[in-house]
Structure 1
């Protein structure tokens, strides 16, 4: 006589199949407080508030506020919690937004750095590159320029036409002449990752004197006030075209392009300024 068998049981070696799909229990919304979607309010630049889901990354909120600012002189840089009588607490880019009792949230705005000029001391920062073994290395700006005379020239991006065909070749061709004027080093700085720049550098086999260094996130470029907004072209934040002669951390020559052309930041212009002693004159 055969034994009774449950239709849902499995034979030996087979995995049992569930009868039905798992059911999700709905939220209990009997309590009025539980019907409210959890959110935080952040006071924006125009003093009106914007709601974000509780736990939203602070950088997302910053980006949303900045998208509403048209030609803003003072962009939003972070979100902070504030309370009367207490020092404000800033949220880092990846910190989740939250609100506590009598603390409120608001945005913080800061004016961008002014473009660096003659007589200014350059800020310190880090530039990166790949060494001969393909390992990522870092250079401190001050290690490059302290007690030296160095020429920096900045370009919007690797492999772009004007940078690749005119700006960089000009400095490579005239590098020996520039070094003969008492310059210790010539550095090309671009807002790209070091892997791209390493490949770009290989396209100049004749180069002997120009170093290629990267400011991948434009952090140092922003510090000297020479960032270039190319979001509308899908290129994000890049660098304005410029050339600087720096003597022991102080700018002695500053040739900065106003538009997208290449006129004042060329190697020929730098050489001319060095020949005429422009680097020896500082503003009063």
Structure 2
């Protein structure tokens, strides 16, 4: 499992931004500046859609004020689904979406989880990354959004400023 001090691995992904959909590698997408990436088991799934993503959408301004250059939501979904979710949530253009359709990144990070009926998915998590190196990782150990939600990330960013 990815830990603080480790570099983001390089695997092929699709990056969905306000400018469109592009082929990228994970280290390109997450490697410049200060990035907050949060990973969810699935786009449009109940907890992800109602509790996880909305917290980041609501706190985009606060995260940017805390020095975050890019906010990225990752999921083991294809880029069409990720784009539709970005549009439906009102996050397109504010948050970038990383489509890890074959779970290559989830596996490379050690965050893959087999979910009955859904296949391999990301474990619910979040990371603060600086210049491609993980500064801190927040991995949920129980159902729900606690350690990996926007409020927890904001607290960690604030504590790092002290």
TM over 0.5: yes
Of the structure 1 ranges 234-243 and 199-208, higher mean CA displacement relative to structure 2 is found in 199-208
What SS does the corresponding residue of 2:136 show, helix, strand or coil? strand
Assess, with a 3 A threshold, how the Cα gap between structure 1 residues 176 and 235 changes in structure 2: closer, same or farther: same
Question: 1:270 aligns to what?
Answer: 153
Q: Are the counterparts in 2 of residues 156 and 191 from structure 1 also a CA contact under 8 Å? A: yes
Question: 2:141 aligns to what?
Answer: 258
Structure 2 unaligned blocks of 5 or more: none
- Tell me, yes or no, if structure 1 residue 126 matches structure 2 residue 12: yes
User: Cα RMSD between the aligned structures?
Assistant: 2.1
Q: Are the counterparts in 1 of residues 17 and 93 from structure 2 also a CA contact under 8 Å? A: no
Structure 1 unaligned blocks of 5 or more: 1-114
Q: Report the Cα offset of residue 116 of structure 1.
A: 0.8
Q: TM-score by structure 1 length?
A: 0.53
Which has a greater percent of helix? 2
Question: 1:17 aligns to what?
Answer: none
Which has a greater percent of strand? 2
**Deviation by residue 1:83-127 (Cα, 9 ceiling, x = unmatched):** xxxxxxxxxxxxxxxxxxxxxxxxxxxxxxxx1111222211222
Question: 1:219 aligns to what?
Answer: 104
What SS does the corresponding residue of 1:276 show, helix, strand or coil? helix
Aligned length: 162
Q: TM-score by structure 2 length?
A: 0.91
If asked which structure has higher relative contact order (CA below 8 Å, sep 6+), I would say 2
- Tell me, yes or no, if structure 1 residue 184 matches structure 2 residue 69: yes
Q: Which has the larger radius of gyration?
A: 1
**Deviation by residue 1:130-187 (Cα, 9 ceiling, x = unmatched):** 57797x5212222233341111100000110000001000001001111111111000
